[in-house]
Amino acid sequence: MFIDNKILPVLVIHDQKKAIDLAKCLYDSGIRNIEIALRTFASKKSIEKIVNSQIPLNIGIGTILSVEDLIFAQDVGANFGLSPSTDTQIIKKSTDLDFNFIPGISTPTDISTVIKYGINKLKFFPAENLGGVDYLNRINSPFKHLNLKYVVLGGITQNNFAKYAKSDDIIGIGGSWIAENKLIENNDWKEVSRRAKLFLDLSV
């Protein structure tokens, strides 16, 4: 599901005019996977622009909170979608649509709910607040034989990235730090590129 590396910049875009420049900057810096969050008025237009561009990114849609969000993600041509929670209505619809959907989990009960639908890729969120890799290992332990894979998000920066990158159970490491709002607003593509490359270096 993820291409080349585990890094997943989370993009919260407030100005659709910046979408292509941002996407190009990330791709040119070595990023191949992105998550665009459905949190702003400009998010859907930004997603459409990036999906329809010639930039060959692996595009995920985040903050999927409804069936309508899920349908939008599939219809727009996204490669996958993520949710911060375990919503069985959305999970059922994703299986009906045969769409790559990664529901959010934070407890063993959440994991039990999700695996009933045949989903084996889960979003662990908010990672740092819940207890990081140690907590994830504990709640995943009863399910270890199922070979579940996790995308981790929430509080991840250059200072704690390495401990997540070492885990074979983790396939994606997301964070907004690479392209945070102030950098996008200021068109500071040089700094976005620097941070992207820093994460890429840490993942080697």
Predicted confidence (pLDDT) at residue 52 exceeds the cutoff of 80: yes
| pLDDT given at position 100 | 97
Residue 67 has a pLDDT of: 98
Residue 157: is its pLDDT beyond 90?
Answer: no
* pLDDT at residue 158 is higher than 90: no
Distance of CA 136 to the CA centre of its chain: 17
pLDDT digits (tens, 9 = 90+) for 91-144: 999 999 999 999 999 999 999 999 999 999 999 999 999 999 999 999 999 999
Question: Mean of the pLDDT values across residues 181-193?
Answer: 97
- Beta-sheet strand order (sheet of 7-11): 101-102, 80-82, 58-62, 33-37, 7-11, 170-175, 149-152, 121-124, 104-105
Instruction: List the beta bridge partners of residue 173.
Output: 7, 152
pLDDT band at 74 (very low <50, low <70, confident <90, very high): very high
Average pLDDT over residues 1-18: 94
With a cut of 80, say whether residue 204 has pLDDT above it. Answer: no
Distance CA 166, CA 56 (A): 27
**Mean pLDDT within 178-204:** 94
| Percent of the chain scoring above 70 in pLDDT | 100
- Domains (ranges, CATH) in the chain? 7-202 (3.20.20.70)
Q: Are 97 and 116 in contact (CB under 8 A)?
A: no
Note if the pTM is more than 0.85: yes
Please give the pLDDT value at position 202.
Answer: 85
